[in-house]
Each structure stands twice: as structure tokens, then as C-alpha cells.
């Protein structure tokens, strides 16, 4: 698939948000679930409305096992949440605007908080498989940005976005209040789809990365550009390349996420109502 850019990706997001509002009403927060995170969606709570993303426009069908082309709308206390049951990735051939279309749509529909989750390889030797880790910062090594190309239309923030507090210290603090065992780490985003070499993992560790994956960074940039507060959570599904004798396998990543993601869903079910 060759990547293509919408002539105005912000208008495309507004159009998708208008269609979403027609079936789901107001949205206060969005959650993007990574590979194998379906159990987290179930733990969030009962679904009010299921939304096929293709019906909103601008959403290609995910092509990676563990990701679905649907979203759920649910209510947590006074907060209405849109939970995406998957995402698309750069390595599928998509333009950055397509990768972040879900985040932009949710914000156009009213979301002021965006929670981004992913399955990640653990670089930090202290991490164990199945452990959730709050993302404190990232290294965007994809060589891409959702803010390149023509500048945003009039009425949108400047594309020269300050990312100093990209991953909200306030939301991370709230999450640790609910689960004091949560650790924090730096997430390295690479384009994939191949896994990294042991030498690359050694380099990333020397650069300060604790986690490695193939998503999240572009969505976080797009969300922060539009003024949303961002919380990132990685689920360690495997030791990174060279840190385990076992070969890396995507099916194992998805299975590891499935077995542990419910814990994070329960955490978010307690955290998101506090945003009201």
C-alpha cells in the first residue's frame, strides 16, 4: 500500500468526528489500545455503542493481528470514553496523517484526554513480561512527524509544538496514586515492521530508552499539538532483542498482551472517572 495524504487532514478529522457524534454523542476521552489489548477494553466496562471505524471515513482496515477496525463508546462516571480496539501503523504503508486520524477525530469530537497504549519490548533489565509501564517520554526514531507538510489551517495551533511535558505529569501521578507499583520509562518508537537487532537495542539502551515499539509517538505528538493531555502506557510483552535466548514472535507478543492487559483496563476504569 502506498501512503497518501489527505489534502486537509484536519477537515477529514472534523468530518469523521461529525459522523461519530451522530451515533455516539459527546466524547470526553479517548483510549487507543495496542496489540492484543482486547481484555483491557472489556475491563473498562460495558459498551454503550459499537462503532465500525470504516463508517466514519478516513479509517483503513487494520492489517495486523490483534488490532480491530472498531471502537466502543462507554461511560465511566461522568466521562464518556471512546476506546479504539486497535490502530494502523506506518509500516503498513500509511501516511502519518492516517496513523493519527483516530486521535485527531476523537479530539475533534470533544476528547481532552488521550490514553495511548502499546505492546513493547523491554530494554530495562528490571522489567518483566506482563508489566505495565507509564511512558515518561519518548524517542521518536521513525524519522516522521504528523506535523510535516502544509501548515495547519487557520484556527489550529502552530505546528511548532512544545513537547516538554508531552506525557502528562498530572495523569502519571494520578495513575501512580491508584497503583503505586507502576514504574515509568522512556519509549523508543521505531518504524518496524522487523524487530530490532541486538546492536540496535544496545544503542537504544545507551540513549536512555527503557522500552521499544512501533507506534504511539506520532499519535502522542498529534494529540499534544491539538492541546489534549496524553497518558502513555506500555505493556512489556517480551525482552527486547538480544536480552533473551528465545526468538521474537508477533503471536507471542499478542498472547502476552492478552494475558496482562486487563490489569491496565481496570486501572483506566478507576482513573478516567476522575477526569470529570
Tell me how far apart the alpha carbons of residues 106 and 17 are, in angstroms, rounded to a whole number: 7
Helix (H, G, I), strand (E, B) or coil at 209: coil
For residue 75, the Cα-to-chain-centroid distance in whole angstroms is: 20
Active site residue 229: no
- For the record, the C-alpha cell of 274 comes out as 476522575
Q: Where are the alpha helices (DSSP H) in 61-208?
A: 96-99, 101-108, 169-178, 198-207
User: Which three-class secondary structure state does DSSP give residue 180?
Assistant: coil
> Within the chain, where are the H helices?
9-24, 38-44, 96-99, 101-108, 169-178, 198-207, 217-225, 250-271
Rounded (10°) angle between helices 9-24 and 101-108 = 60
Q: Is 1 helix (H, G, I), strand (E, B) or coil?
A: coil
Residue of 61, 184, 196, 200 marked active site: 196
206 Cβ partners below 8 Å, 6+ apart?
Answer: none
As annotated, the active-site residues are 196
Amino acid at each position: 500500500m502506498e501512503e497518501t495524504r489527505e489534502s486537509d487532514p484536519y477537515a477529514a478529522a472534523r468530518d469523521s468526528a461529525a459522523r461519530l457524534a451522530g451515533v455516539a454523542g459527546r466524547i470526553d476521552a479517548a483510549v487507543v489500545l495496542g496489540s492484543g489489548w482486547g481484555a483491557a477494553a472489556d475491563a473498562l466496562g460495558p459498551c454503550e455503542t459499537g462503532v465500525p471505524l470504516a463508517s466514519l471515513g478516513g479509517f483503513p482496515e487494520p492489517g495486523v493481528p490483534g488490532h480491530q477496525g472498531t471502537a466502543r463508546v462507554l461511560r465511566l462516571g461522568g466521562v464518556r470514553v471512546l476506546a479504539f480496539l486497535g490502530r494502523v501503523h506506518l509500516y503498513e504503508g500509511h501516511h502519518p496523517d492516517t496513523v493519527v486520524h483516530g486521535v485527531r477525530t476523537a479530539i475533534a469530537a470533544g476528547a481532552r484526554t488521550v490514553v495511548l497504549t502499546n505492546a513493547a519490548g523491554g530494554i530495562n533489565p528490571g522489567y518483566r513480561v506482563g508489566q505495565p509501564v507509564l511512558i515518561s517520554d519518548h524517542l521518536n526514531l521513525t524519522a516522521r512527524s504528523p506535523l510535516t507538510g502544509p501548515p495547519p489551517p487557520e484556527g489550529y495551533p502552530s505546528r511548532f509544538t512544545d513537547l516538554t511535558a508531552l506525557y502528562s505529569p498530572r495523569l502519571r501521578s494520578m495513575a501512580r496514586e491508584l497503583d503505586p507499583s507502576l514504574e515509568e520509562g522512556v519509549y523508543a518508537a521505531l518504524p518496524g515492521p522487523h524487530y530490532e537487532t541486538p546492536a540496535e537495542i544496545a544503542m537504544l539502551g545507551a540513549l536512555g530508552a527503557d522500552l521499544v515499539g512501533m507506534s504511539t509517538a506520532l499519535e502522542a505528538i498529534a494529540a499534544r499539538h491539538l492541546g489534549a493531555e496524553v497518558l502513555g502506557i506500555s505493556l512489556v510483552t517480551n525482552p527486547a532483542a538480544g536480552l533473551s535466548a528465545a526468538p521474537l514472535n508477533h503471536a507471542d507478543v499478542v498472547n502476552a498482551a492478552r494475558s496482562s492487559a486487563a490489569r491496565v483496563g481496570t486501572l483506566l476504569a478507576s482513573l478516567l472517572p476522575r477526569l470529570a
